[in-house]
Structure 1
Amino acid sequence: MIHPSQPFLPNSFAIHNGIQARSTGENTAQAALEMGPDSLNPYGLLHGGAYYTLADCACGTACRNDGRKYVTLHGGIDFIRSAQSGTITASAVVRHRGHTTCQVSVEITDQAGVLLATGNFTFFCITQH
């Protein structure tokens, strides 16, 4: 079990994109992004890739709470509303944990708690249990 006091392996891609992920309990995690000019699309809205990366980081962190290593097999996002500024948070919950796969759902909200997107991700375990 990974505990909040233990450091996660550095995720250079998340760091580059300004995403901070943390475990919030057994089978749960959150990732946050403070929106800036580099996270916007040409219309001044949060880029779809930023939503996806934020969700993937939160979901992967939730999977790794069992101490094993996972890679993303599949992920999907349903966009509901757009964000233009502020902090965006992805909250992930493991829905099923098998021997080789882990299925996680995620909700992305703005700092007022408004739902912006939902998603489901499936991860493959690359280490033995």
Structure 2
Amino acid sequence: MISEEAFQSVARANAFAIHNNVIIRQLELGKAEAQLTMGPAHLNPYGKLHGGAYYTLADCAGGTACRTDGRKYVTLDGTVHFIHSAEQGVVTASATVLHYGRTTALVSVTITDENGTLLATGEFTFFCLGDA
């Protein structure tokens, strides 16, 4: 896992996550979480968490999980499967790297609400840009 100082440097540089109020943290090698406290700006016209917010949350968690190995990654591909809708509160994306390759990493993500209800699952492929 990368040092907390290096992690915080990357987290501060993630303007998109900051803009969307996504808080990210590395947990251990190959694992990370991202959390979002829902507000009016995160909702679709029907008062539910917007699909783009689910994707953003999952992508941020997945990328962070990859970077725990000390290399730089960008998203190649991602799929999110929506199961339940959230209307308020905190949602958490938990990401686990399933496979580190030479140039790619495969990540599984689950998104839950504060009660542990499964809201969405996803799978992402990240491309390794090299050492950090």
TM range (shorter): over 0.9
Q: Which residue of 2 aligns with 1:109?
A: 112
Q: Which residue of 2 aligns with 1:14?
A: 17
- 1:35 maps to amino acid: M
- 2:17 maps to amino acid: A
- Give yes or no for the alignment of 1:30 onto 2:18: no
How far did 1:105 drift? 0.2
- Give yes or no for the alignment of 1:88 onto 2:88: no
Judged with a 3 Å threshold, the aligned counterparts in structure 2 of structure 1 residues 128 and 12 are, in CA distance, closer, same or farther, namely closer
Runs of 5+ unmatched residues, structure 1: none
Structure 2 SS opposite 1:122:
strand
Structure 2 SS opposite 1:126:
strand
Q: Which residue of 1 aligns with 2:55?
A: 52
For normalisation by structure 1, the TM-score amounts to: 0.96
For normalisation by structure 2, the TM-score amounts to: 0.94
Runs of 5+ unmatched residues, structure 2: none
User: Quick one: distance in 2 between partners of 1:25 and 1:67?
Assistant: 12
Q: Which residue of 1 aligns with 2:76?
A: 73
State the number of aligned residues: 129
Q: Which of the two has greater helix per residue?
A: 2
How far did 1:5 drift? 5.0
How far did 1:128 drift? 4.8
How far did 1:117 drift? 0.1
User: Quick one: distance in 2 between partners of 1:116 and 1:8?
Assistant: 30
User: Quick one: distance in 2 between partners of 1:97 and 1:71?
Assistant: 14
Q: Percent identity?
A: 60
How far did 1:127 drift? 1.1
